[in-house]
Amino acid sequence: MTDRKKSRWELYQNMEYHLMKDIQPSCYLNEIYEDPDFQKYPFDMLHKLKSVEQSPKYHPEGNVWNHTLLVVNEAARVRNKSKNPLAFMWAAMLHDIGKARKTRNRNGKITAYDHDKAGAVLACEFLTQFAKEQAFIDEVSQLIRYHMQILYVVNGLRFADVEGMKQHTDINEVALLGLCDRLGRAGSRRKEEENNIRIFLQACNSFSANNKTRR
């Protein structure tokens, strides 16, 4: 292993350690932000998130990096509720990685359409540099791919894909990640967001029940 690969591998392992052990992983993540290795591939996918702005209406906390840190801290509080805490924490870390590629300013309106799909691809690319188990990489990727489904399902949007989500991932894990995503915003209301998660899970379970009835 070359010195550069060793350095990258150590950074990945350190990130993983703090994601799994810290009460607030954001403290460590802020420490390494200026690390030269964090500015190089593949960590640069995360480093550039600080320069990606978000709609102040939905994300008053500011850029995607700020949001990611808040989400990771929320995820750390509930990681023991996950069936696979390691995959869950990496999904939280990488959940908006696609926004750097998909964010646009359309006549003053900031959007990031399809960042969930782009993020799933980029998460695979990132994790493939370090992780050996394809099943782990796929699990993280699919959580990212479907993390926006809570918004789509609860609001009855045409992008909702309960069937696809249930085929490729665990709705309870999506719900847990989605709650952290929604709480990782300045001014979020916990009770309101927890109620949205209940509505989401009820809708997903009703979908399954209706499918069984048709059969």
- For 110-161, the pLDDT digits (tens) are 999 999 999 999 999 999 999 999 999 999 999 999 999 999 999 999 999 9
Single pTM value for the model? 0.95
Q: Is the predicted pLDDT of residue 208 greater than 50, yes or no?
A: yes
The alpha helices in 103-170, defined as continuous H runs, are 115-128, 134-145, 149-154, 162-168
CB 180 within 8 A of CB 75: yes
Percent of the chain at pLDDT exceeding 90: 91
Tokens 């990489």, residue?
137
Tokens representing 50? 């600080």
In angstroms, rounded to a whole number, what is the distance separating the alpha carbons of residues 89 and 80? 10
Report, at the CATH architecture level, how domain 3-214 is classified.
Answer: Orthogonal Bundle (1.10)
What is the per-residue pLDDT across 92-121, written as a single tens digit (0 to 9) for each?
999 999 999 999 999 889 999 999 999 999
Query: Taking 50 as the threshold, does the pLDDT of residue 213 lie above it?
Result: no
Q: Where are the domains positioned within the chain?
A: 3-214
